[in-house]
Amino acid sequence: MTTIVTLHSGARTIGGVCVSVEYGAARAVLDFGSPYVPEAQVFDGRVQPRRRTWVADSIRLGLFPRVDGVYAAEDLAADAAGDGWGGKGWGAGDGGADRPAAGAAGGIGGLVPAERSQLETAVFVSTLYLDHMAAIGAVADRVPVYMGPVARRLELAMETCGLGVRSRRSAYQSFEFDQPVRVGEIEVLPITSYTDGFGSCSFLVTTPDGTAHWTGNLTIDGFESGHTLAEIDLLRRRGLDVLFCDATRFSFDEELSRAAGPDGAVAAGIAAPAGAPTNADLDAELARTIATRPGLAVVNVYQRELASVAKLAASAAAAGRLAVFEPDLAFVARECLGLTPAVYTPDSAGSAGSAGEGAPPAWLARLRAECPAVTRAEIAAEPRRFLLQNSYANILELLSLPSAGGVYIHLDGEPVGRFDPSWANMERVLGVAGFELACFDYNDVVGHAFPGAVQHYVEAVAPRVLVPCHSTRPQLLAAAGAKQLLPEPGRPFDLAGRPASRDGRPR
């Protein structure tokens, strides 16, 4: 019996990595997200997902990983009524007589539903960024989905108020960092990468005949780097067969030129390039901006980043400002950080808490009872007193707020960067509203290791097989002594990097 490893997605995209490690009748699936390719985003605010076939549509469009035995039969059904292939059911006990041929018109041809899978499968989430877990809500309930305890609490809070992923699930499971979880004869060890915010980890998978490791978002150059240095020691002691490595920064020429040694190749070393800002540098500049601007401070923050939300609340208090949040993020801050934030309700259509008919949902009613409200008139009367969280969806609210002496702080929120077509639209609205833009891209600084640090990591770990991924140019990451493998998505291989056949194996 041999271990089979598959990179299902994320081979040549930033984000969207999904890896499976299979041994016997057990399988561990590592991450289950969607690549971040804003210029090719189908659901652009105009195209809306369908109600009954959103899972199948997302698989067809390449937004969700194409993996056997993970999705429910009803979600793989071809017709909007959800009654199966050709009007017949394709669930447990029907013998598979109506299973479609690969490429069958209107269906997800060839995918085995969870009800008919012979594999014991579990999904593991390394971090709560969407490119690592956007598809977890589509996983059938019979397949457990594990994540860190803080991440689980955060995702449940976000799903309650409408900020989370669309989900068909009734529950998620949690693991403890650095404590193994078993799936059949497979052991999955979540290794702490950092503990800030919701936490993040890598995964070491051990089977009876070898090891495979997925770095998740690799950080090593300055941000809680001790965890990753300890990880290197552990992997070196254990011996590693296959390494799936985050090569995000190898996608960018500027990053590679800064990391180049005398021979033009990437020079290994964990120190950040000269002149690169540190996490502490950004913290200090953010606090200074919030404290010194004479007008209203508005911030667009990545709503999943608990550490940034806590940082904003603390910086506002230190500057003598009141931190004010939109209702949905205020709910998350209350549930996950124990804050009692002030709440500002935007007038945008569809915004949580905006004027509408009917009773508010229970979460919003509780928020209104427990947290103070701030009005537009109060902000207009004394703008310097407030730090206002404003999501991109509600950016037109700025047209009715005082901009004199004000600043719009972009803190890893959407749109994420200038490569996103929405960035120009954001700048246009800010220009009309009269707010100055100040960018604080923490994720760009600490989210992914610089090329030299990645090179150091790979050379220190010394895997037999190296699979660079989470990058548009994975081929640029290589190391002496390691077989570089650039597999096609969905093509299985063994722990020596040789093509493997799934013929006769459980599906």
Beta pairing partners, 29:
20, 123
Q: Are residues 330 and 438 in the same domain?
A: yes
Output the pLDDT for position 247: 96
Residue type, 277: P
Q: What angle do CA 372, 373, 379 make, to 5 degrees?
A: 125
d(Cα 334, Cα 419) in Å, to the nearest integer?
33
251-274 tens-digit pLDDT: 988 888 888 888 888 989 888 777
Q: Strands of 145-147's sheet, edge to edge?
A: 4-9, 18-23, 26-30, 120-124, 145-147, 173-174
Rounded Cα gap, residues 119 and 114, in angstroms? 9
CATH number at residue 56: 3.60.15.10
330 lies in some domain: yes
Residue at 34 is within a domain: yes
| Residue 270 within a domain | no
Are residues 440 and 460 both part of a single domain?
Answer: no
Q: Which residue has the tokens 């209107």?
A: 106
DSSP string, 160-229: HHT-S-----S--EE--TT--EEETTEEEEEEEEE-STT-EEEEEEEETTEEEEE-SS---SSSSHHHHH
**How would you classify the pairing of strands 436-439 and 407-411?**
parallel
Alpha carbons 304 and 129: distance in angstroms, whole number: 7
Residue 427 lies in a domain: yes
Considering the domain architecture, whether residues 112 and 189 belong to the same structural domain is answered as: yes
pLDDT of residue 223: 65
Element (H, E) at 312: helix 306-318
495 found inside a domain: no
Asked if residue 186 and residue 56 are part of one domain, the reply reads: yes
pLDDT per position as a tens digit, 128-185: 999 999 999 999 999 999 999 999 999 999 999 999 999 999 999 999 999 999 999 9
- Between CA 196 and CA 330 the distance in angstroms is 19
Q: What radius of gyration, in Å, describes the C-alpha atoms of the chain?
A: 24
pLDDT band at 105 (very low <50, low <70, confident <90, very high): very low
154 and 48 in a common domain: yes
Q: Are 449 and 226 in contact (CB under 8 A)?
A: no
The distance from CA 281 to its chain's CA centroid, rounded to whole angstroms, is 25
pLDDT at residue 106, rounded to an integer: 39
pTM assigned to the model: 0.91
d(CA 5, CA 191): 20
In the chain, the number of structural domains is 2
- The predicted structure's pLDDT at residue 259: 84
Read off the pLDDT of residues 273-314 as tens digits, 9 standing for 90 and up: 777 777 888 889 999 999 999 999 999 999 999 989 999 999
**In one letter, which amino acid is 22?**
E
Q: What is the mean pLDDT of the chain?
A: 89
Using the structure block, give the residue that is written with the tokens 């004479």. Answer: 294
| Of 116 and 96, the one with more pLDDT | 116
Q: Between the CA of residue 256 and those of 144, 251, 266, what are the distances in Å?
A: 39, 8, 7
Report the pLDDT value the prediction gives residue 92, as an integer from 0 to 100: 33
Q: Do 377 and 386 meet the contact criterion of CB atoms below 8 Å apart?
A: no
Same domain for 360 and 455? no
Query: Is residue 480 packed enough to be buried (19+ CB in 10 Å), middle (13-18) or exposed (0-12)?
Result: exposed
Q: What is the pLDDT of residues 357-380, one digit of tens each?
A: 578 999 999 999 999 999 999 999
Q: Give yes or no: residues 480 and 359 share one domain.
A: no
- Residue 305 inside a domain? The answer is yes
Classify residue 489: in a domain, yes or no.
Answer: no
Residue 21 domain-assigned (yes or no): yes
From residue 50, alpha-carbon distances to 16, 78, 166, 283, 505 in Å are 22, 13, 12, 42, 35
CATH number of 426's domain: 3.40.50.10710
Peptide bond into 415 cis (omega under 30): yes
Structural domain for 27, as ranges: 4-94+101-253+450-484
